Amino acid sequence: LNFNEFVELVNPTENCIISPRTNENPEYTIKGKSVIIDFSSCNLDSNTTYKLSCKNAIRDYTEGNLITEHNIVFSTGKYIDSLCITGHIIDAYTLENATDILIVLHNENTDSTLYNIPYQYVTISDKKGYFCFTNLPDKDFYISAILDKNKDFLFSQSDEKIAFHTPIVRPYPIFTDSAKMAENTNIDTCHLLLFEE
């Protein structure tokens, strides 16, 4: 990533999240006015679209202004997946919007999934509780959410809150035409209720 001024990294392994999950984190280095992201240790799957979300991970050196959100999308195959899943999450007790909650997609739906199996795809709810997964493949997912206090991408502490959506979720195309969106009966946003066990 090339910039027109000097920049610095801010906890990139914590503030940058790659979906789908890889066995290792990319390596981040600064060279002049460039940020170099090295994926060589990640063992990327073939024919897969990856999205690297960098939130508050890069700031300019002089004034400390953060890049609040920057996404890098690339594919190890011949095309980039373009489907999405959207939704909204609220606190089940207060009925207020749940902000900065980790929303995860995974393939399994057992009682122990969120205790043992880290996410495949991940996003974070915004200030109004809305979330959106983009660049997804055409396959079924289960969706859950965690107030992940220790940032291990698992439901691992007694005071962490959780939410889940029981039915299978299928990604859909992103429509810019509202008439096409209204015609598509398969589109339904996921509504999640966050609760403490």
Query: Does residue 187 have a pLDDT over 60?
Result: no
User: Both tokens of residue 58?
Assistant: 């890069």
pLDDT tens digits along 98-128: 998 989 898 876 555 566 666 789 898 989 9
pLDDT of residue 155: 62
For the chain, percent of residues with pLDDT exceeding 70: 82
pTM: 0.81
Tracing tokens 């493949």 back to the chain, one arrives at 137
Measured between alpha carbons, how far is 139 from 32 in angstroms, rounded to an integer? 41
Query: Does residue 129 have a pLDDT over 50?
Result: yes
Question: Quick one: how far is CA 142 from the chain centroid?
Answer: 14
For the chain, percent of residues with pLDDT exceeding 90: 44
Query: Does residue 36 have a pLDDT over 60?
Result: yes
pLDDT tens digits along 47-70: 999 999 888 899 998 898 888 778
Contact 123, 93 (CB under 8 A): no
pLDDT tens digits along 82-102: 999 999 999 999 999 999 898
pLDDT of residue 182: 47
pLDDT tens digits along 133-179: 999 999 999 898 888 666 666 666 667 888 888 888 899 887 555 45
Question: DSSP of the chain, one letter per residue?
Answer: -B-SS-EEES-HHHHEEEES--SSPPEEEEETTEEEEE-TTS-PPTT-EEEEEESS-EEETTT--B---EEEEEESSSS---EEEEEEEEETTT--B--S-EEEEES--STTHHHH---SEEEE--TTSEEEEEEE-SS-EEEEEE--TT-SSS--STT-EEEEEEEEE--EE--S-HHHHHH-TT---EEEEEEE-
Measured between alpha carbons, how far is 159 from 98 in angstroms, rounded to an integer? 16
- Cβ neighbours for 116, distance < 8 A, ≥ 6 positions apart: 154
Q: What is the mean pLDDT of residues 3-21?
A: 90
By C-alpha distance, which of 35, 33, 32 is closest to 9? 35
pLDDT of residue 68: 79
Question: Quick one: how far is CA 9 from the chain centroid?
Answer: 20
